[in-house]
Amino acid sequence: MVGHTDLTTETLTLVEAELSARLLREADGAKGVVRVGAGVPVAAGRAARRAGRPLVVLLPAQGSVPAVLPYRDRHAAGELLLLAEQMRLMPYDPEGRDACVAADERMITTSRRLLAVWDGSPSNGRDATAHLVAFARARGIPVDVVWPAGATRRTPATAPASVTVAASAAPRRTPAASAAGGGRRPGGPGPGAAGSGASGPGGPRPGGQPRMPRS
C-alpha cells in the first residue's frame, strides 16, 4: 500500500475506513504490506487490524542492522511495531527520496495487488505516488485507487506544465498597475498564502498601508 504523504488528519481517518473495507474483500490469507512511515502506512496498519488481516512492515536497514528513522517517522514506527505480525528489513536510506521510491518499487514487485491512496495528480519532487501507480500497471500488477469523497491534502497538487507555461507567458504589469491592482512580484506568495509572506520592519501592513519608520 502506498499513498500521498501530505494527507490531512481527517482524510487519514477516511482512508483508514476505506482501506479496511477493501481489505475485507480480499481473499483469505491476503496480507497488507507497508513501508514504515507516518500517514498512509499507519492508516493502512490500523485498517488491516480492523479487517483482521496480517500486516507486514518493511524497515530500512544498513546491512543487517535497522537504520535510524527520520524523526517524523519514529512515532509511527512504534505504532506499526504493535500492529505488525511481521517486520522485514530492507536495505535503503530512509532519508533519501530516490532510495525510498526504489524500496516502494521492490515492495510492489512482490505484491499481487497495489492499493494506492492517490488523488490522480502527477508526481513531483516530494511525492511519487503517480510514478508508483504507473510502475505497478506497467508490470501487470492490478491497482486499486483509493480516494474517498471529501479527501484533501495539506498542499495543493502540482499544476500541469501547460498551466505553468501559460502563467509565465502572461503580460507583465507596469509598476503603476501593480500598485493599483494589488499585484505581486514574480515568486511572491499568491492569494491564500496567509502567514507565508509576513512583512519585516518597514514592510507593508495589512490593507496596503505603509509602515511608518520609528523615530
Residues shown for the chain: 215
d(CA 67, CA 60): 5
List 65's β-bridge partners, or say none: 62
Number of H helices, E strands in the chain: 7, 7
Q: Evaluate whether residue 160 is within a structural domain.
A: no
Does residue 170 fall inside a structural domain? no
Q: Is residue 184 a part of any domain in this protein?
A: no
Mean pLDDT calculated for residue range 75-103? 97
Q: Which pLDDT belongs to residue 126?
A: 85
Residue 84 lies in a domain: yes
Confidence of residue 156 (pLDDT cuts 50, 70, 90): low
SS3 content of the chain, % helix, strand, coil (to 5): 35, 15, 50
**Average pLDDT along the chain:** 81
Q: Is the confidence at residue 149, as pLDDT, over 90?
A: yes
pLDDT at 168: 33
Instruction: Tell me how many domains the chain contains.
Output: 1
- If you write DSSP's letter for every residue of 106-171 in order, what string do you get? HHHHT-S-EEEE--SPPP-SS--HHHHHHHHHHTT--EEEE--TT--BSSPPPPPHHHHHHHHTSP
Average pLDDT of the residues in 50-69: 95
173 in any annotated domain: no
First CA to last CA distance, the chain: 61
Q: Name the helix (H) or strand (E) containing 175.
A: helix 175-181
Residue 192 — φ and ψ, nearest 5°? 85, 0
Domain with 14 in it: what CATH number?
Answer: 3.40.50.450
Q: Which amino acid is at 35?
A: R
pLDDT at 206 over 70: no
- For residue 157, tell me if it sits in a domain: no
**Could you tell me the three cell numbers for 62?**
544498513
Instruction: Say what the pLDDT of residue 52 is.
Output: 95
Higher pLDDT, residue 49 or 168: 49
Q: What is the pLDDT of residues 1-39, one digit of tens each?
A: 999 999 999 999 999 999 999 999 988 889 999 999 999
- For the residues 196-213, what does the mean pLDDT come to? 45
Between CA 34 and CA 49 the distance in angstroms is 13
Average pLDDT over residues 165-180: 39
Q: What is the pLDDT of residue 112?
A: 94
Percent of the chain residues topping a pLDDT of 90: 67
Which residues, listed in sequence order, are joined to residue 146 by a DSSP beta bridge?
117
Question: What is the span of the domain harbouring residue 59?
Answer: 2-146
Contact (Cβ atoms closer than 8 angstroms) between residue 125 and residue 158: no
> Residues 32, 1: contact at Cβ < 8 Å?
yes
**Residue 198 pLDDT:** 45
Summarize the confidence of residues 164-185 as an average pLDDT: 40
Phi/psi of residue 117, nearest 5 degrees: -85, 100
As a whole number, mean pLDDT of residues 165-183 equals 40
Confidence at 203, pLDDT banded by 50, 70, 90? very low
Domain presence at residue 92: yes
Question: Is residue 153 a part of any domain in this protein?
Answer: no
What average pLDDT does the segment 152-161 reach? 61
Which band of pLDDT confidence, cut at 50, 70 and 90, is reported for residue 129? very high
